[in-house]
Structure 1
Amino acid sequence: MTKDVIVIGAGTSGMMAAISAAENGARTLLIEKNKKVGKKLLLTGGGRCNVTNNRPAEDIIQHIPGNGKFLYSAFSQFDNQHIMAFFEENGVSLKEEDHGRMFPVTDRSKSIVDCLHNKMLELGVEVLTQESVKRLLIEDTRVVGVQLESGQRYVAPCVIVSTGGKTYQHTGSTGDGYRFAKKAGHTVTHLFPTESPLLSNEHFVSKKTLQGLALQDVTLSVLNQKGKAIVSHEMDLLFTHFGISGPAALRCSMFVNQELEKYKDVPVSLDALPHLSHDEILQDMQKRRQEHEQKSVKNALKNLLPERYLDYLLQKAGIDHSLPIKQLEDKDRTIFINLIKDFRFTVNGTWPVEKSFVTGGGISLKEVQPKSLESKLVDGLFFTGEVLDVNGYTGGYNITAAFVTGHVAGKHAAEISSYYNY
């Protein structure tokens, strides 16, 4: 069977690659091991599909801390505005939510998956489901097609590997792309979980003291061994039975994992009131002391922090909750304020890559052309999406990178395949 372009994997980047190749005149085949296309895409954004982000392209690249700069060339050809236009033009209205996150108005991922699937069919893409690729067919540093597990061969001058990372393995992301890349002579960098909850053995975790407590708009910082911040994120945080989760923890996980390669645990710092300085909290406490001097410390400080967190920090500072606030000593007050601004504890791991949201690491970018996403080692072989060593924060950034790399690879593969007349 002969095609111009073969795409392996019907996820976000694979479907967009197939659409882009077909739009540019290529006879395109999409091969997917699952029964249906877009299995992982259906789960994103809590089943609502955070399809992209409406920030300026420069901002989006800033939110892709894992090698986002590699995407500049691809973004100059197709970006988040193009993604939004694509869905609007194909009948899916989008709406903007907090932090620029874009969702379908229907609040259903199925709207996005159906749109991509219907577009492929409209463009004549042949979609082959429940079929696994066994290996790439390569002759003299040029890809010539693929062989399926069934033994069937498909011939094409261009093959796009869009197999995803190693997260959400039940959706089929089992790392096939890394295997294909290595066989083709590519380097796959160390794979690690990102956008992952953080694990801790601290006493407050093992005793479940704060389990289930959510803090809003706090700043979580990952510290180096000297106590200096490597990265800080101001977002919501959730204490769990294993450590911490929520957006702030997820965003810090990549940096935690990088430190864990060198050390057995990593210090973090939590600032519960990032918009108030030490002195401003001190002034607030002095004012409360004057207004409520007969009240206990706990009652006088009500609403300064969520009650459970207030109780915990008072206890940690060695302050009796029932002590009248007028009797609170200056040194104890200083200890308490320091805990509000800089509560330090250690984390010793993250969820494994299989249970995390995004795979860090991947096919080395030194071996991939940034403009076309074609391999520098094997002519006609392209890589897109999470299989590349590119990873971003949650909030529509990874999915944007997947759509952008898919579209750009599809376009260039169609162009190259047009030079070959079988």
Structure 2
Amino acid sequence: MEKSYDVIVVGGGTSGMMAAIAAAEAGAKVLMIEKNKRFGKKLLMTGGGRCNVTNNRDVDDLIRHIPGNGKFLHSTFSQFNNFDVMAFFAEQGVALKEEDHGRMFPVTDKSMTIVEALVNRMKTLGVTFAMQTTVQKLLRDDNHITGVETEFENFYAPCVVLTTGGRTYPSTGSTGDGYRLAKKVGHTISPLYATESALLSDEPYIIDKTLQGISLRDIVLRIEDDNGKMVTEHKMDLLFTHFGISGPAALRCSSFVNQLLEKQENVSAVLDCFPDVSEADLLKKLNEALQDTKKNVKNALASFLPERLLTFYLDRLGLTDCPSQQLSQEQVESIRHLFKHFTIKIHKTLPLEKSFVTGGGIHLKEINPKTMESKCLPGLFFAGELIDINGYTGGFNITAAFCTGHSAGVHAAQTASYFSY
């Protein structure tokens, strides 16, 4: 294998493959180094194995769905954005389809379709692969990167793109190598934390699995601090599990939960099962349903909620078998309150290694937002989950990875071209 290249990309995930493609399309001689036997190991897992490639929203809306420093991506998205991602796959012959909330998937419903398209494009462009190879050190002279040292041999290039991923799902190869490599050449690593992670609770009804398996559609989950101030809220689906709550609504709240838990012991997750119905209208609907004197409360309200959740709520109030006509207005209002303000105490999220996305990472003040180049070491570029950016589930993190990878690859190739004269 040759030792000298224009651009070396370290990490063959979403951002790395796109960086290699972009650099090669710009005319660079590219080496891709991957520690696994195959590319895109984590990408294959995304979207339940179907791969949520991107999201069909305008760029401003896209940034709003990347709460972890999304504004940093304005320059990146002005060069290559979600619509360019869609166009790229169309050029590779991969048809995409849109599902709820703008999520884009391959028509095949197989992540492998996306990974194969990326790998085939790298092969077509003549990218050299060094598989099952781990980078142990970045090589540099006084003021510029010169290559990488692996456990087998050294490779040289005037530009290196680090795309080694975060710390989630270490079995895919995301073991934090990039943070260590970047720190050794002077970069600051913002504290890492789990995002897009399920929420854990030790409430008695969670521990005894009373609600396990109950799924709710289009509820609102609101996160409040110790002072009762709302920190964030999301209207999506929710799932009760044996350890707490999961589903899109819970996952989207997780980064805010982890940041709050740095300051307080527990966090309040407030569940509103009827977000589109006002307090007054819900009270009216409850009163109307309870007017049937032939039914007990549980049967009268059977259409409002899944049976187990309704029974749980009414049991908490001691009203399950109470005849409808015997309820006082105060008791009806207590039902309404639980339907719209049920509080679940959260004490932590799943650990980083079992979460979908890593929050924190290489400090953005040390990265040029236009080029993704290091401000500490010229010739070193970053992309993907390694940097301090994180978004919600729904294709936003993958979009950020593809787009920062493309930007890093293009600018690395451009910088490398200066060294060929």
TM, length-normalised to structure 1: 0.98
Task: Give 2:82's match in structure 1, choosing from 58, 62, 80.
Answer: 80
**Aligned position for 1:93:** 95
**Aligned position for 2:301:** 301
Q: CA deviation at 1:393?
A: 0.5
Structure-2 separation of matches of 1:227 and 1:138: 51
> What one-letter code is carried by the residue in structure 2 that aligns with 1:358?
V
Structure-2 separation of matches of 1:405 and 1:258: 25
Q: Indicate yes or no: 2:370 matched with 1:371.
A: yes
Structure-2 separation of matches of 1:289 and 1:332: 12
**Aligned position for 2:275:** 274
Cα displacement string for residues 172-212 of structure 1 (whole angstroms, at most 9, x for unaligned residues)? 00000000110010000000000000110111111211111
Structure-1 separation of matches of 2:364 and 2:370: 12
Larger mean Cα displacement after TM superposition, 152-161 or 330-339? 330-339
Q: CA deviation at 1:345?
A: 2.2
What is the 5 A alignment of 1:5-404? 5-150=7-152, 152-290=153-291, 292-319=292-319, 321-404=320-403
Q: CA deviation at 1:282?
A: 1.1
Structure-2 separation of matches of 1:301 and 1:133: 62
> What one-letter code is carried by the residue in structure 2 that aligns with 1:294?
K
Q: CA deviation at 1:333?
A: 1.0
Structure-2 separation of matches of 1:372 and 1:293: 70
Q: CA deviation at 1:295?
A: 1.0
Structure-1 separation of matches of 2:54 and 2:275: 28
Structure-2 separation of matches of 1:160 and 1:204: 48
Q: CA deviation at 1:335?
A: 1.1
Structure-2 separation of matches of 1:243 and 1:229: 20
Structure-2 separation of matches of 1:167 and 1:284: 45
Figure out how many residues of one structure are paired with residues of the other and give that number: 419
Cα displacement string for residues 203-236 of structure 1 (whole angstroms, at most 9, x for unaligned residues)? 1111211111111111111101111210000111
Q: CA deviation at 1:141?
A: 2.6
Cα displacement string for residues 55-113 of structure 1 (whole angstroms, at most 9, x for unaligned residues)? 11111111000000000000000000000000001110101011000011111111100
Structure-2 separation of matches of 1:361 and 1:38: 22
Residue ranges of structure 2 left out of the alignment (5+ in a row): none
* Structure 1 SS opposite 2:333: helix
What is the alpha-carbon root mean square deviation over aligned residues? 0.8
Is the Cα–Cα contact under 8 Å of residues 52 and 395 in structure 2 kept in the other structure? yes
Structure-1 separation of matches of 2:59 and 2:129: 32
Q: CA deviation at 1:331?
A: 1.1
* Structure 1 SS opposite 2:361: coil
Structure-1 separation of matches of 2:168 and 2:401: 15
* Structure 2 SS opposite 1:159: strand
Q: CA deviation at 1:122?
A: 0.5
Q: CA deviation at 1:421?
A: 2.0
> What one-letter code is carried by the residue in structure 2 that aligns with 1:411?
V
TM, length-normalised to structure 2: 0.98
Cα displacement string for residues 23-60 of structure 1 (whole angstroms, at most 9, x for unaligned residues)? 00000000000001111111111111100001111111
* Structure 2 SS opposite 1:39: coil
Runs of 4+ that moved beyond 4 A: none
Cα displacement string for residues 244-283 of structure 1 (whole angstroms, at most 9, x for unaligned residues)? 1111111000000001111111111110111111111111
* Structure 2 SS opposite 1:215: strand
> What one-letter code is carried by the residue in structure 1 that aligns with 2:306?
P
Structure-1 separation of matches of 2:127 and 2:377: 24
Q: CA deviation at 1:168?
A: 1.1
* Structure 2 SS opposite 1:42: helix
Structure-2 separation of matches of 1:88 and 1:400: 16
Q: CA deviation at 1:304?
A: 0.9
Q: CA deviation at 1:311?
A: 0.7
Structure-2 separation of matches of 1:376 and 1:315: 60
> What one-letter code is carried by the residue in structure 1 that aligns with 2:116?
D
Is the Cα–Cα contact under 8 Å of residues 287 and 332 in structure 2 kept in the other structure? no
* Structure 2 SS opposite 1:419: helix
* Structure 1 SS opposite 2:190: coil
Structure-2 separation of matches of 1:382 and 1:390: 15
Cα displacement string for residues 100-131 of structure 1 (whole angstroms, at most 9, x for unaligned residues)? 00011111111100100010010111011011
| Same amino acid, percent of matched pairs | 58
